[in-house]
Structure 1
Amino acid sequence: MTVFSIFLEVNTMSLQALKNINRTTPTDAEQPKGFPAMLEQFKGEIARALPKHINPDRMARIALTAFRMTPKLGECDPRSVFAAVIQSSQMGLEVGLMGEAHLVPFGNQCQLIPGYTGLMKLARQSGLVQDIYAHEVRVNDNFTLKLGMERSLDHEPLTTLGGFPAADDERGEVAGFYSVAVFKDGSRTFVAMGRKEVEKIRDNSRGYQSAKRYKKESVWDSDFTAMGLKTAIRRLCKFLPKSPELASALALDAAAEQGKAQNLNLTDVIEGNYAPIIDDETGEIADAKPVTSRDARQSRPGGDPVEVADATGKKVKVDGVSAIATDPSDQEPSARLKAIYEQMAKATSTDVLDEIYVRAEGDLDGPELEALMREYRTCKAAIGRLI
């Protein structure tokens, strides 16, 4: 047996050990009690399952700190906290104090919510964005916006002695926000949003509505500026080339804003294959993972009518035989996807792989884009094992 085959066998066993968490319930005798115990018990397996650039000890320390800072997380299913932490690590974001991502209770489940610094980090990692940033504009600043054939945006904050920016109270109330992206070729794009537009987005947020209903303080109340910056960054990201990590982060964030479950399946997260189901028309994450033909065959082998997802991810009633054709993972990849898969398989570094993905994702949508994201993560994991 070669060293490489031994490594693959050990790594497969580690992944299987992690997946077994999903087959237990919080009341099982062998289930570690609580997230801290689970993290400690599976520390070795986590180290072998994470991408090579992630330090498992640092990840564990940061995750425990974030967990302890939010006591309500102790009421969540520890497996959901575990899944959120692993997913954050897979995307290359750190939860907690750095603001790249946050662990937030959602009923008895833990949600992973990217911060605006995390979105900016993932945009830069796409390989085509050189820089990305956002600022608030206050009423006493000098701000000029020009749209049309020649767009421009100029912002001069109110200054004090020595030419330094004045204090926030001197600059006045927040009037709006803008975000800017600089591409590798030096070209730029931007978005600008007035305060009323941002407040309208805030008012439509399920989290904000829930906080108001129960007379609690929301993050919009405690840190309006940070949330406004994130809103501007999030809108800008819609117009940028997106890596699978950025696409997943945006979908997770959208689910949290809409008050929907993120459907962080622990098995998919561990394998690096989490790909949220997105509605092509609205751009929103689906409320639940659609039932596929594989689910239909397992639950209704007699061919009775079942509810499955069609090619667009929408649920439709079909019979057990017709359901077989609706699962994208059961279908043969198109010639276009096969060609992209072949290019990905030949990639010898993550940089090359990222470039192939970013150039391809703009021409795909729906099930094909989801399939591409899964293949990308499979190839990325293979490259990581060979490094």
Structure 2
Amino acid sequence: MNNQLAKQEKKPSFGVMINSTGYKTLINRTLGDPKKATRFVTAISSAVATNPALQECDAATIVSAGLLGETLNLSPSPQLGQYYLVPFKDRKNNRTTAQFQLGYRGMLQLAQRSGEYKRINAMAVKEGELIRYDAFMDEIELKYIEDEEQRQSLPTIGYFAMFEYHNGFRKVLYWSKAKMEQHALTYSQGYRAKKGYTFWEKDFDAMGIKTMLRQLLSKWGMMSLEMQKAYEADGGVLNQDGSIDYVDTVEAAPQPEPVPVAEEVVQEAQQQPDPIPEPPMPDEPPFVDDDDFASLMG
């Protein structure tokens, strides 16, 4: 009897819901192009199908995050890394939601598309590549190691980001590995707790690159309306009324690679001289109970 009730109460799959009349109307009205709407449904359904944890999410939050990505002309494909749909288990509100997470490749795409930048780049710096860095004069000298196999075998010593406008204005930024480590310890509670599941622990360099781009562009870059929109939504759960919830007391739902799951949302600092906290790159923790999660939050 209980099994029968469970089956009856089981919610429809995301594939069924997104093809319902209500969602079709919403998507067509938002995108304004039937072909684009069809392509969107296919792409977002594929992203959800490859990640079982997303299938448990509130469909409205998936569609809202996906529509934002679509209006920004970014792909939800985890392989491209432009943005992620990140499932969160919100025990406080007894629901699982999908969070919009902007990837560093998405940041680069939006910056390049703005037309303001002649050049823009961000990379990890390997041992032997840094010749000198003068923060006072805003100058850096690097020597790239061209042998890729050799380069990958060397330890990372820091992170570099730069841009140049068409008018010649140029800005460079370099952080040592130690400075990035301190940043991670300050703004990532999961990393500080050394639980082993955070993206900082799984791919420190990728998170370092995203951090450098956020620091560089948020402080000194020209932000197009698209970039501002993406940055404001980064790390948030988008509601149907257009509001964004930034929740720091939820836990990430487990999901398979290559889609990582986020650890916590840290609000961005408003003072320019201070480091800018990063909306976390996705992490992959298991479900934990409220007491365990509270211990992570200190």
TM-score of the pair, normalised by structure 2: 0.68
Q: Give the SS at the match of 1:140.
A: coil
> Does structure 1 retain, via aligned residues, the 8 Å contact 2:27–2:37?
yes
* From 49, 54, 70, the counterpart of 1:89: 70
Q: Distance in 1 between matches of 2:268 and 2:197?
A: 30
CA shift in 2, pair 1:209/1:66, >3 Å: same
* From 233, 243, 263, the counterpart of 2:213: 233
Is the counterpart of residue 181 in structure 1 residue 163 in structure 2?
yes
> Does structure 2 retain, via aligned residues, the 8 Å contact 1:142–1:158?
no
Q: Give the SS at the match of 2:171.
A: strand
Deviation for aligned residue 1:74: 2.0
The answer for the alignment partner of 1:167 in structure 2 is: 150
Q: Give the SS at the match of 2:81.
A: coil
Q: Distance in 2 between matches of 1:144 and 1:284?
A: 27
Encode CA deviations 1:72-125: one digit per residue, 9 max, x unaligned.
112221111111111111222211221100011122111010000101111223
Q: Distance in 1 between matches of 2:32 and 2:172?
A: 33
Q: Distance in 1 between matches of 2:126 and 2:34?
A: 40
Give the alignment of 1:42-121 within 5 angstroms: 42-43=23-24, 45-50=26-31, 55-96=36-77, 97-107=79-89, 108-121=96-109
* From 119, 140, 145, the counterpart of 2:133: 145
> Does structure 1 retain, via aligned residues, the 8 Å contact 2:97–2:237?
no
Structure with the higher strand share, 1 or 2: 2
Structure with the higher helix share, 1 or 2: 1
**What is the count of residue pairs matched by the alignment?**
237
Q: Distance in 1 between matches of 2:165 and 2:245?
A: 26
CA shift in 2, pair 1:280/1:234, >3 Å: closer
| More contact order relative to length (CA 8 Å, sep ≥ 6) | 2
User: RMSD value over aligned CA atoms?
Assistant: 3.3
Q: Give the SS at the match of 2:197.
A: coil
TM-score of the pair, normalised by structure 1: 0.54
The answer for the alignment partner of 1:321 in structure 2 is: none
CA shift in 2, pair 1:207/1:69, >3 Å: farther
Deviation for aligned residue 1:264: 1.4
Structure 1: which 5+ runs fail to align?
A: 1-28, 257-261, 286-387
The answer for the alignment partner of 2:254 in structure 1 is: none
The answer for the alignment partner of 1:36 in structure 2 is: 15
* From 240, 257, 269, the counterpart of 1:266: 240
